Amino acid sequence: MESDTAQTHPPGEPGPDPRFDGLIIDLDGVVWVGATAVPGAIAAIAQLRARGIRLLFMTNDPRGSRAEYAARLSALGVQVDEGEIATSGSALAALVREREGAGTTAFVIGTPSLKGELTQAGLELLAGEAGREAEVVAVSGHDGFNYDELRIATQALRRGARLYAAGRDATFPMPDGPWPATGAVVAAVEVAGGKRAISVGKPEPVLFELARSLLGDCRRVAIVGDNLAADIAGGNRAGLTTILVLTGTSGRDDIAGAEVTPDIVLPDLAAVMRKVFA
């Protein structure tokens, strides 16, 4: 069993820190793994809110819309609205709109929810064989990824389309072990299409900038995540205090070889509540 003692960099145990008035909480591997809530996570969220800490929920998983993630949290007992959620899908839609403009044609590899985000951002989505003529290819992981999607994306890119990706996570945690994530699909498209994608997901700054903007006037913000390469590296780049929990992708043994080490290491979100915010 993991110790309930925090590890910091440099080593040391953090005490309560009232200077944190905002907290970005990753979802996969922190709040839930698969369909199951991490033990103690829901109670910890309620306690953080009771102490006046503003929370922003963030995910690198672009398969769901912000409304769908809000509904999923609500079903677990956490009442949130869309303004308290930042997803790589919503960040992708915002960036493509900003760079390409409304009316740009796009071929999208992703879920209906992601396609909805891009449609709401003003992109014109091309389906099927018409996608070969798209000006933009936008990619995320999804369960229905197939060879035809890869072929159409490849042909569009070889004809000059620009390539955007929702992220580069290789896997995401599930109860039976890691599953392929967006990065695995992006890698296939990049190799076949001959282009490097512009990525918005963690650890890139786009998603962190979106999350930070949604926290408004919070003066000092920390991020709680389970992935050293995404949450911790990205949080460090964004100038946030980084807290690694050991309920998802990265374990304590991974820290020594990481390019960026977390400021605090704790077993789970409940321990974050007890050790950092109590």
Active site residues: 26, 28
Q: Name the residue among 36, 61, 38, 58 with its Cα closest to residue 267.
A: 38
Q: Using CB atoms within 10 A of its CB, is residue 148 exposed (0-12), middle (13-18) or buried (19+)?
A: exposed
Please name every residue paired with 245 in a beta bridge, in sequence order, or none if there are none: 266
At 84, list the tokens: 């308290």
Fill in the DSSP letter of residue 7.
E
At 129, list the tokens: 């064989």
Long-range contacts (CB closer than 8 Å, 24 or more residues apart) made by 14-21: 14/264, 14/275, 14/276, 16/276, 16/277, 16/278, 17/276, 17/277, 19/219, 19/220, 20/53, 20/220, 20/221, 20/222, 20/241, 20/276, 20/277, 21/52, 21/53, 21/54, 21/218, 21/219, 21/220, 21/221
CA dist list (Å): 241 to 41, 46, 94, 208:
20, 21, 26, 13
